[in-house]
Amino acid sequence: MNIVLLDSKTLGEDLDLTVLLQFGELANYATTQKEETAERIEDANIVITNKVVITREMMEEATSLKLICIAATGMNNVDLEAAKSLNITVKNVSGYSTTSVVQHTFTMALHLIGHLPYHNRVVKSGAWSQSKLFTDISHPFSEISGKKWGIIGLGEIGKSVALVAEAFGATINYYSTSGLNKINDYHHSNLDELLNESDILSIHCPLNEHTKNLINGSNLKLLKEGAVLLNLGRGGIINEVDLAEEMNKRELYVGLDVLEQEPIAPSNPLLSIIHQDRLLITPHIAWSSKEARATLLNGIVENIQNFIDK
């Protein structure tokens, strides 16, 4: 088998990719640009891609291609209808990052609720030493216990976040973006109610026609003063221009692991909001714990083995 891995750098340099050699020769590319893809896959039997887009035209030219392994859960970077018509199998890996995303959700929440940037800075700057007080409670933090935690998207990740939030003592409400997931152990609210009532609100849904700009200037104003808003779903669910404007108007705490454009554009208005301590942005890493990436690679290997066995 000729195996082509198009964007291994997105999987991390600490994974042992030699496990793929059991299936044949491996052409490993750290990154692949749009104009390079067709040439690189033209003689491949198996292609592995995380985010590199594979179009119908590319698949039509790759006459030996039999299997596309997506190194992710989302499959929007491959033309699935074209693959089916060309008898090319497409396999993804689901569920590999749930624990990682849940942990990062609470990493972000606790960072913001605990005002950790301020507390770290006041110690290292010497200001605490100069105060002569044994404590600094000028930026008091709150407990999750007793708070209302709202969840947008109660899938596997959303349910896991709910369980941990309950362990902290929070009350859970949720909103189903599809309108179909309304039979659960938790109270379903409409979106406006969820925004209005939540002390902490986390997003764990996909980006689609129902969720594009779901959170925007018309409903951001419903959030409580001092509320915490977390997006660990997809960029584009929150309108970033509207969010920056709202954050400059009043006290909101926001954690974003995903953005509409990744990497972030230097012109993104979130980079110049007034109170930067109220905003935490991480570079789309919630999925990527060492354990999650190892599980992802194992899932790719399993998909290839199952394909060969058939």
Catalytic positions are 234, 262, 284
CA angle at residue 245 from 242 to 247, to 5 degrees?
Answer: 110
Q: Give the CB-side neighbour count of residue 18, counting CA atoms within 13 A.
A: 2
Strands (E), the chain: 2-5, 25-28, 46-49, 67-70, 89-91, 148-152, 171-175, 187-188, 200-203, 228-231, 253-256, 279-281
Q: Give the C-alpha distances (Å, rounded to integers) separating 92 from 17, 76, 190, 304.
A: 17, 11, 32, 11
Helix (H, G, I), strand (E, B) or coil at 14: coil
Name which of 55, 117, 113, 116 is nearest 88 in CA terms.
Answer: 55
Q: Give the CB-side neighbour count of residue 162, counting CA atoms within 13 A.
A: 21
d(CA 136, CA 123): 10
d(CA 234, CA 262): 11
Q: Is 170 exposed, middle or buried (0-12, 13-18, 19+ CB in 10 A)?
A: buried
* Contact indicator for 142, 168 with CB cutoff of 8 Å: no
d(CA 247, CA 241): 10
